[in-house]
Structure 1
Amino acid sequence: MIEIVTALIRDEQGRVLLVRKIGTDSFMQPGGKREANEDDLTTLTREIREELGCTVVPDSIRPLGTFEAPAANEPGRWVRARAYKVRITGQISCEAEIAELIWVDPGKPCERKLAPLTRDTILPLALSPENQAL
């Protein structure tokens, strides 16, 4: 099991931010693995800064739950994700291992390849009324 922390980030139009890492073909929500002695929020803040060059707005962090799905980039493995809804501040850009970012409407089919966790759990969560607002 690969343990990760991940973020549901929305824009003013309600779209969800997804990223694709270098050398991969699936889009997923930003986030990543904990480093030694990190808690979820420290990991999430660090990953957002490293991947997107942005800052998490501290009072915006809301837990969504813990979810499991097949890993997108490691065949035969699974991820267990602690997911949080967050707002960010600053200019978003592809940093570190991020090759590309896109904004998707969670209520419409996406033409890009999505990670199983994103497709089956995070985007449906984004459609629930409590997760639609910024």
Structure 2
Amino acid sequence: MKARIVVSAVCVFDPEGRLLTVRKRGTGMFMHPGGKPEPGETAVQAAARELAEEVGIVIDPRELELMGVWIADAANEAATDIEATVFRAPGTWQAHPSAEIAEIRWLDLAELARSGAFPQDLAPLLTEHILPELDAAHGLRSGGPDI
């Protein structure tokens, strides 16, 4: 049986509708901002704290919208799954790398839909669950509404 890490993650969009991804120092994969809850912290509290620490986005946890809970292969740890509670930060944001974040990258979802391919350096949670969920909810592949 694989080890499992519990994390919170957040979908954040910029004014152009691009999805924020981050790469932590010493790793090669891009993923959502987020991380492990601290003792006594709820998933939504962890999500809000991690957003502030990692990319400078300060939001009241009550404003985050639950998207769902998914299990996926951990991006940077062999033989490990993550159980990710994923939220969406309403509105649009600007972000900058802080704490353990080495790099941020905004994904143009419409371009990804047109190309039909995902970059090879995206975490499995994104490629297997979140991007298909966003596609289904917002019609990205059919040229539907902006996110």
Instruction: Please give the secondary structure, in 1, of the residue aligned with 2:13.
Output: coil
Alignment of 1:22-101 (within 5 A): 22-56=25-59, 58=61, 60-87=63-90, 91-101=94-104
Q: Select which of 105, 114, 121 maps to 2:122.
A: 114
Structure 1 partner of 2:6: 3
Any idea what the Cα deviations from partners look like across 1:64-116, whole Å, max 9, x if unmatched?
11100010111000000001111377752110000000110234134350110
Inter-partner Cα distance in structure 2 for 1:90 and 1:69: 26
The runs of 4+ residues in structure 1 deviating greater than 4 Å are 88-91
Provide TM-score, normalisation by structure 2. 0.81
5+ residue gaps in structure 1? none
Deviation, 1:124, is 1.8
Inter-partner Cα distance in structure 1 for 2:90 and 2:102: 22
Bigger relative contact order, structure 1 or 2 (CA pairs below 8 A, ≥6 apart)? 1
Q: Are 1:19 and 1:29, in contact at CA under 8 Å, matched by a contact in 2? A: yes
Structure 1 partner of 2:142: none
Q: RMSD of the alignment, in Å?
A: 2.3
How many matched pairs? Answer: 134
Over alpha carbons, which structure has the higher Rg?
2
Q: Percent identity?
A: 35
Inter-partner Cα distance in structure 1 for 2:51 and 2:10: 8
Instruction: Please give the secondary structure, in 2, of the residue aligned with 1:18.
Output: strand
5+ residue gaps in structure 2? 140-144
